[in-house]
Amino acid sequence: MTPNAPNGYDVIIVGAGPAGLCAAMYAGRGMLKALTIERGAPGGELLNTDLIEDYIGFESIKGWELAQKMTEHAKKFGAEIVTDSVERIRKAEDGWFDVATTRGKTYRAPAVILTAGGTPVKLGVPGEKEYAGKGVSYCAVCDGAFFKGEVLAVVGGGDAAVEEADYLTRYATKVYIVHRRDQLRASKIIQERAFANPKIEMVWNKRVLEIKGTERGTDHLVLEDTATGGRATLAVGGVFIFVGFRPNSGLVEGHAQHDAAGYFITDERMMTSIPGLFAAGDVRSQLTRQITTAVGDATTAAIAVEKYLAAVREREKAGVAS
């Protein structure tokens, strides 16, 4: 498709994590004029992950190194990546998408692949940032194996927190679930599984005030009793935080079908309920969120965009509005 605007593209990819970079690579292979917009360095959450051991083909690789390899691979096929933050994605009356950024740019394309993912909700306490990747984690599946034989803490009381605590017991000698209330928010069946697990211990009515440690990593938490205000410490070798995850689905102006948590619902082509808007990776409603699923989504989305654009051209030739 030949863009009909000076700054037009065939497809705009929002986000340059694993999904975005994979989509950019496949778009380049498909000879599409594509633009990838990323607010920071390419790599996304890979840059916040120390060691990766669950990405097929790499028994062990640093997060930044995998990000670099993915970026170089995408650029080999002509990926154009700009550093900017997307503020709004809106489908215009002519069927094209306007993608507006904080730098005052508006890029246009008949298709968009949204791979902006989401953000784990942070506790916002001292030590959380300092020990990220050194004892503080937001993904049990990603990092659990690094904590074999350790005593761990999971912060949160919802389904994700309790399920991840149960998962971590396969590696840890003990897992504390630290919750600010006296009962969990998780579904009953998940709670029952946790209560029946001898490796799990509940720490009720406690709020994390600080995460402390040494140059080797996290070694204890400072807790505050939400009822009495009293303080205590909890010795742990790692802390997994599951107090929420916010998908970046709010970038889209207009209603696209989503689940109760705000994740986009797509069809088998990764297209949302807005024609031409595709979603891949952590922003999409699915069972698990891993690097492998992100690049799988992106592969499907990029190839589907080619077919979508071909169909649009055929409709235009036939004089049918898109």
d(CA 317, CA 288): 41
DSSP string, 40-95: SSTTGGGGG-SEE--BTTBSSEEHHHHHHHHHHHHHHTT-EEEE--EEEEEE-TTS
Chain-centroid distance of CA 163 in Å reads: 18
What is the crossing angle of helices 63-76 and 18-29, to 10°?
Answer: 20
205 DSSP 8-state letter: S
Annotated catalytic residue: which of 50, 54, 84, 139?
139
259 DSSP 8-state letter: -
Q: Look up 22 and say whether it is catalytic.
A: no
Q: Look up 54 and say whether it is catalytic.
A: no
128 DSSP 8-state letter: T
C-alpha gyration radius of the chain: 22
Annotated catalytic residue: which of 10, 22, 142, 297?
142
Runs of H (alpha helix) within the chain? 18-29, 63-76, 140-143, 159-168, 188-195, 291-317
Contact 111, 308 (CB under 8 A): yes
**Which value, to the nearest 10 degrees, does the dihedral of the CA atoms of residues 244, 99, 68, 66 take?**
40
Annotated catalytic residue: which of 10, 143, 166, 297?
143
Residue with tokens 């995460």: 211
Contact 110, 276 (CB under 8 A): yes
d(CA 26, CA 303): 7
- Exposed/middle/buried for residue 137 (C-beta within 10 Å: 0-12, 13-18, 19+): buried
For 27, half-sphere exposure in the C-beta direction (CA atoms, 13 angstrom radius) is 33
Active-site residue set? 139, 142-143
